[in-house]
Amino acid sequence: MSSKLSPITNAEELLKLNNSSEIILIDARAGINAEENFKAEHLKGARYVDLNKDLATVDCNPKNGGRHPLPSFSKFSEVLSKLGISPSSHVVIYDDKNGSNAAARFWWMLKAVKHEKVQVLNGGLQEAVKAGFPVNSEIENFEKTGNYPITEWNLKTADIEEVEKARNNSENIVIDVRDKNRFDGLTEPLDLIAGHIPGAVNFPFSENLDENGLFKSPEVLAEKYAEILNNKTSENVIVHCGSGVTACHTLLALDYAGIEIPKLYVGSWSEWSRNDREMAAKETK
């Protein structure tokens, strides 16, 4: 039996570890008023991480790397230190969108710097509350750690040029995890142009979840992605979304299914659509 820690944990398991010093619990909610919502109420003992300030270096022009480019190694090291995370920490991350908000992005980033003990809470905040995990508005007091050693991203990424080469190459597959209406160009709530990268296939991240909003079993996910990937290796698979955040939900699902984590196109549609590349798209605003 493999001793590998599952990338997904459930609320019941977390509840058993309540008040344990072994766990660093991270609230990764994102969007409007996310930090204010955290301060008003969060899982007891949780520490807050900000998508825009901590998990990205947001440029004024998304043409340069998209809306959520990765931060520098030094910045990310400082973030982990600020959160009290060391290489030996057991980190459990949640948000209020079952990982698609920013929890999976933080999970991917920790995995990419070879952090071993990191998990995402299945069902997120809502499932924990339903299971009886205590909530409060108290801000956790904790000690910062020394600088976390980071020298490279150890998980694979793809840049815009690699996506350009891969999108029409039969040996590769480019997966867009946004919802079908965005992929089809019917709506676009965040970027300037609606549509998708020509040659990409659409497999919405929401299909990683069951009717209760929880991750499907590893066996079900493995079977589904085996059909989609068609024996392609991780080196030949590129996953993207709007800005490199929700794509990590699918990378998390793949890891949960026992499939090697493929490449993340961090810039995603927010970068591609601003760089005069070929698009199956229409202007929306």
Q: Which residues are catalytic?
A: 241
- Distances 49 to 38, 52, 217, 233 between C-alpha atoms, Å: 10, 9, 28, 33
Phi, psi of 38 (to 5 degrees): -60, -45
Q: Are 268 and 243 in contact (CB under 8 A)?
A: yes
**Please, where are the H alpha helices in 55-166?**
73-82, 103-112, 124-130, 160-166
Residue 25: strand pairing partners: 92
Place of tokens 């980190």: 91
Q: Are 253 and 204 in contact (CB under 8 A)?
A: no
**Please, where are the H alpha helices in the chain?**
11-16, 34-40, 51-54, 73-82, 103-112, 124-130, 160-166, 180-183, 218-229, 247-256, 268-272
